[in-house]
Amino acid sequence: MTSIIIILGIILLIFIFFAVLIFMLYRRDNRRDKKLLEIGSENIEVLATYVAAQKEQQETERAQKELKQAEQKQKLETFKQTKEQLKEKLKSQIDAKAWKPLETILKSADKGGVGIYVMYNETKNKFYVGQAKQLHKRIRDHFVVEDITRDYLAGDKIRVKMLTANELDADYRLDHIEKTGIEIFNSDKNGYNKTGGNM
């Protein structure tokens, strides 16, 4: 009888030992799963924050794009409604400016200055109207491979007028002003401009 009790006691101790071992392994796995879950939830929060930030940025960019398009549309409407008025004003501004010899521009240092410019071939009575972010630099850039270069190198007399952005009407885009200048001088049909302007 005593031996049976001892055997049962040993079996019970073995059972308890394995039960405790299984319980400890279960707790360890449970803690690991919980930790992984916590790490996963942190990643989800980071990802959600990133996605929200991206969405907000896209919305901001879309709103800015729509605003810019609306402004351009408004300026186009202003241009259409007051085209003749702009033409008269621009012509008087150009007429008020003195022609500069091309050589003066070619020898000058680069200067900033957004605006439009008119180049006039006095010899052939031909014009070119353009716009630029750096007026002096842009005018010099023409004298590389363009038609006006050949005429200038052949001895034609070229003169230039420039109007900077602060001299121009802010209600109009430079594209509109350039197009109007091309119309004033008819420089797309009887000049150096290849098109009637960018619109």
Supply the pLDDT for residue 107: 82
Supply the pLDDT for residue 80: 80
Q: Indicate whether this model's pTM tops 0.85.
A: no
Supply the pLDDT for residue 21: 67
Pairwise pLDDT comparison (171 vs 55), residue with the higher score: 55
What is the DSSP track for 99-134?
PEEHHHHHHSPP--B-EEEEEEETTTTEEEEEEESB
Phi–psi pair at 48, nearest 5 degrees: -65, -40
* pLDDT single digits (tens) 91-123: 999 999 999 998 888 887 766 689 999 999 999
Percent share of the chain, pLDDT over 90? 28
Supply the pLDDT for residue 45: 67
Supply the pLDDT for residue 199: 60
CATH number of 98-185: 3.40.1440.10
Supply the pLDDT for residue 118: 94
* pLDDT single digits (tens) 132-158: 988 888 888 877 657 888 898 899 999
3-state secondary structure 10-77: HHHHHHHHHHHHHHHHHHHHHHHHHHHHHHHHHHHHHHHHHHHHHHHHHHHHHHHHHHHHHHHHHHHH
Q: Of 194, 170, 187, 172, which Cα lies nearest the Cα of 117?
A: 187
Angle between helices 83-96 and 174-185 (to 10 degrees): 70
Lowest mean pLDDT among 41-45, 85-89, 164-168, 192-196: 41-45
- Delimit the domains of the chain by residue range: 1-81, 98-185
Helix (H) or strand (E) holding 160: strand 158-164
* pLDDT single digits (tens) 3-24: 777 776 677 778 777 777 676 7
As a whole number, the mean pLDDT across the chain is 82
pLDDT bracket for residue 35 (50, 70, 90)? low
> Token digits for 71?
């402004």
